[in-house]
Structure 1
């Protein structure tokens, strides 16, 4: 076969973990699959890597391109350059410095628009102190916590990059931007890419530096308290400091927990809608149990900490609802994700090496509009339901950040746990029947799900695991509507609802892609 840089030979094969993770052995095996010997190819470009644990022994599936001559330079980057927009004629105000906001800013720069990013929280480094105070002293800073601050909710709660939203944008472009800003190149090849909460902050800081280096602005400790709204045209915002910031357009990328923004929009008569979301608990196991169940080996060896994805359809009051795993964190920790005093919320995270002895995952059930009190609370019905359960969790657990918990086997039997297991959750746990926290209907749906999951994973649904509440910030309970084509609000001109907080994304990558789309929509609107 004739090799050129434009047409490498594609190969795919399965290897044992020992061979797949040894660079020299892997290289020889890929060449052999191409019918070549060492020295007959100039470069082997690994394109995809995934674990296949369906057979008796787990294997690693590899897909690679073999180049006989020099590979194209674009394989290695840098892939993106940003022009200076400090004197650009057009400006866009971006509210929120999460993935949607930061990637909207970078795309705006590419399009010749100056972004001004305002973030209610602190920069990623300073934010650490508030997280330490939350974990150790149980002090909740409403503007700086696991949800608010530079990088958004994902920065200190995992860094998973897997998405199914491949039709909404260029996933590979987002991953390459992350690599160019310091993420491990492994995210370009892993089937379920992951940066890790210990490494993501530096990547986030580098993204911000690129915005500033190109003439954009990023302002921290700048909460939006009001809108500059005239005749259904959003011209800017008013900050907590009383400063009026004006721009040609506003991208609202505030994340799924900015309840004050939903209340502000509602108060100012901006159309918003209640939307379905999901709510439940975190379940925590020993990682060894999950490894053995998934890999069917006494020791996982070189394999990564095992994960799982589970789903079950349940019956109950209101009809059929899904129960599913959410944000599964192998080798991870449970963290306090409250955004105000008087509530208990939990989330999960994993460091890059995923080497904690614990595995945790959200196990949540769908909450539909008919499960909310829409008649009384209207568009804010889901938000009120979230608050009610989070506040009840706090009260029942003692009005601190100590979380209510129950052994999983006891929960399935409706029995109060006499004691609890060791946990990764730093503020600590207290035994509380989770029915009291969640209410009977939600608890019964979760029971049906756990019973089904116990049949799928041996040892899963026993007292060797415990559930911790509540996992309530899976997505926004409010949607800020927008036109399908222009991405502008259907009533308020100049407002571009964006990302998870507006109801259009569900993770770091999908939020980043939505941010880019909104920047492109702004360009079309202001040109």
Structure 2
């Protein structure tokens, strides 16, 4: 008999397989001889009670042996197959390429930035010197924004595709088996580069192509059909184009607009990144003065309706670092990431407010760039308030709520440095007012009884601005064919097109676009 059960294990026993086995035997009232094998399918932390516990979903093999499961995909040689161009080597582009190879098509990836390991020098210049390379940074380059901005794999995109397949592909390329089990899987920025390199090698070994430092300049269309692209290295022809450029490639939107290819303004979210000492979050979430060594640094998820608008935490990074994610000169954009061990002393999260079409002036129906221009304007204000060299404007949390400029700022993880600022002069009033009202309420949801104020504290710092939560422009596509409604063979894909919101959802969308390409050209 094969049976799935859920058991509860204390943090003391979570690493003890014999203790877990004994708990299973007691729960099922069976003997050790009867239990041939068990597999932990899911592992999550339940901190709702007085003491945090682990909840494990286990598959039991009672009186029979488990079947041997083979998950790895065999990729055929596609070196002489029909070519498909993919613009962008982020998760959408890479996973689209892997799926095209599975289907017997040849992916040709072009990426404006550098190979994943070569990006490190440019990131070091950003963090240590405040010098930005607009073609190689936290957003542009192999692996996309997710590679050097955390590597969280948590998603709610189950209905869009096979999440487990995406996770298994990461495991096949070097990620640990833990990501298949943990309720909130995470790889870590320190480990993702090796995994991304391995994925590239799979693509190349199968006969695909990957071209770095190659920028899309033009798209050739004839009789409403995609024909070829023009890059800084020449012309490439193919049967289809998957456009997976990410949410920060503003020049791509401008290119499409110049060619009269339909674009649409799209709501996004805007706010700040908030950083606490990690121990404050641990105490508030785990209800204990010191986190158990077998418990990971705690995360949180907060949401509050304020004046008929959602204010919510976004991309929470336990044990993480705030990173400068600007892609253009004279702008400040911040994001967060964590290493695999999540062992930094700070916890950070985007805390943002929904921005709707009617929040901007002008005729947004006629101007698809209305919200993008609004986004860029706020990022410019943040740069000016920071004072240059990628310094970010910041304010202590309680000071912000009380509209008081902070006399000093706490120790923090943002390496280019912070400038004490009145963030009300950076953020638009409809954003700052809702944050002002939401933060004390967040504090009520996450109090502490251990000598500090919990979430709502002046030990926390607000860093501006968190503005690249999603694209403020959508590249429309047909729901069935996934092609642009005006251009046959053009497949807008993932975050940059407005159809995904993280590594896994982007990877799923990449594979969905690959499937749609196959239906078109085979």
Shared fold (TM-score, shorter chain, > 0.5) = yes
Task: Give per-residue Cα distances to partners, 1:78-112, cap 9 Å, x unaligned.
Answer: 42111110011x21100001111001000011111
- Equivalent in the alignment of 1:510: 505
CA distance in 2, matches of 1:85, 1:332: 40
**Could you list the per-position Cα deviations for residues 365-404 of structure 1 after superposition, in whole angstroms to 9, with x for gaps in the alignment?**
0000011234278101111111111111111111221110
Find the counterpart in structure 1 of residue 336 from structure 2: 348
Contact 2:129 2:389 in 1 (8 A): no
Please name the residue that 1:412 is paired with: 401
Secondary structure of the 1:475 match is: coil
| Equivalent-residue separation in structure 2 for 1:78 and 1:38 (angstroms) | 29
Aligned length: 513
The 1-side partners of 2:225 and 2:71 are apart by 39
Structure 1, 366-375 or 348-357: larger mean CA deviation = 366-375
Deviations 1:243-273 (A, max 9, x none): 0111000000000100010111111111010
Map 1:368-447 → 2, pairs under 5 A: 368-375=356-363, 378-447=367-436
**What's the offset of the Cα at 1:174?**
0.6
Task: For structure 1, list consecutive stretches of 5 or more residues without a partner in the other structure.
Answer: none
User: Residue 315 of structure 2: SS of its match in structure 1?
Assistant: strand
Alignment counterpart, residue 213 of structure 1, candidates 205, 214, 229: 205
Deviation at 1:54?
Answer: 1.0
**Equivalent position to 1:108, from 100, 112, 115:** 100
Once the 2 structures are TM-superposed, how far is the Cα of residue 510 of structure 1 from its aligned partner? 0.5
Counterparts of 2:25 and 2:415 in 1: how far apart (Å)?
A: 48
Structure 1 Cα separation of the partners of residues 136 and 277 of structure 2: 31
- C-alpha displacement at 1:232, in angstroms? 2.1
Contact 1:487 1:521 in 2 (8 A): yes
1:266 correspondence with 2:254: no
Deviation at 1:428, TM superposition (A): 0.7
Q: Counterparts of 2:165 and 2:503 in 1: how far apart (Å)?
A: 13
Structure 2 vs 1, CA of residues 17 and 133 (structure 1 numbering), >3 Å: closer, same or farther?
Answer: same
The residue that corresponds to 2:457 in the other structure is 462
Secondary structure in structure 1 of the residue aligned to 2:510:
helix
Kept after mapping to 2: 8 A contact 1:291/1:300: yes
Q: 1:51 maps to which residue?
A: 45
Q: Secondary structure at the match of 2:20?
A: helix
Give per-residue Cα distances to partners, 1:43-77, cap 9 Å, x unaligned: 22100111111111111100111224432211xx4
- Compute the displacement of 1:177 (Å): 0.8
* C-alpha contact (below 8 Å) 1:233/1:493 kept by paired residues: yes
**What CA RMSD, in Å, does the superposition of the two structures yield over aligned residues?**
1.2
Which residue pairs with 1:82 in the alignment?
75
SS of equivalent to 1:375: coil
Residues 28 and 37, structure 1, Cα contact 8 Å, conserved in 2: no
* Partner Cα separation in structure 1 for residue 408 and residue 191 of structure 2: 35
Cα shift readout 1:127-146 (whole Å, capped 9, x = no counterpart) = 11111111001111111100
Query: Aligned-pair distance for 1:314?
Result: 1.3
Indicate if the aligned counterparts of 1:332 and 1:356 stay in contact, CA closer than 8 A: yes
- Give, in whole Å, the separation in 2 of the partners of 1:491 and 1:525: 15
Aligned residue in 2 for 1:35: 29
Bigger Cα displacement from structure 2, 9-18 vs 494-503: 9-18
Deviates more, 1:460-469 or 1:479-488: 460-469
Name 2:450's counterpart in structure 1: none
Structure 1 consecutive aligned stretches of length 4 or more whose deviation exceeds 4 Å: none
Q: Does 1:129 align with 2:124?
A: no
Alpha-carbon contact 1:450-1:461 (below 8 Å) kept: yes
TM-score by length of 1: 0.95
Runs (5+) with no aligned partner, structure 2: 448-453
